[in-house]
Amino acid sequence: MKLSLVTHTQNLKTREFFGVLIQYPASTGRLNDPSEAISQAHNKGALAVVASDLLALTQIKSPGEMDADVVVGNSQRFGVPMGYGGPHAAFLQPVRNINDPLRDALLGYQLMLKDARLRMALQTREQHIRREKATSNICTAQVLLAKLLPYMQCIRSRRPQKYR
């Protein structure tokens, strides 16, 4: 497998690939319209994943409106301290009809007593370290950062942000 960095101005029609990851808006803040790259990816049978800024999505066209397959991002812009790059509560949202394969990859079935239950198959490793076996007394809890998001929004804004 080869990883290629392609800028938004390059044509994807002449390349072979199975997916594209598009930053929207760009890390510089520039708003490039990824609609053409998304449609070119779909024409090649590839998935289009958009890494987005959650706060910016309150004001700009959403990846779902541009027919993206998956949207990913984090909540750092909502008042979570930088913390040398992490941890941050993140989100991963399938927009199109790939819910079943993605759900199956993230969730597993577990037989508990008499019933089968869903459980998270991919979790942060810190959730499963027993206190007596821990080599450090520092443990990150992303759920605390996820809870910080609505509190900071209430403190900083008189009206809640509405997502498009």
User: How many domains does the chain contain in total?
Assistant: 1
- Domain presence at residue 163: no
Say if 108 falls within a structural domain.
yes
Please check whether residue 113 lies inside any domain of the structure. yes
The predicted-structure confidence for 99-113, as pLDDT tens digits, reads as follows 566 666 666 666 666
pLDDT digits (tens, 9 = 90+) for 125-164: 555 566 676 666 555 566 676 777 777 777 766 665 665 5
The CATH number of residue 57's host domain is 3.40.640.10
Residue 2: left (phi > 0), alpha (psi -120 to 50), or beta? beta
Range of the domain at 27: 19-156
Is 49 a member of any domain?
A: yes
Q: Is 14 helix (H, G, I), strand (E, B) or coil?
A: coil
11 assigned to some structural domain: no
Query: For 26-35, what is each residue's pLDDT tens digit?
Result: 888 889 889 9
Q: Is residue 8 domain-resident?
A: no
pTM greater than 0.75: no
Structural domain includes residue 52? yes
How far apart, in Å, are the Cα atoms of 14 and each of 4, 10, 18, 92? 13, 10, 13, 29
Position 101 scores a pLDDT of 63
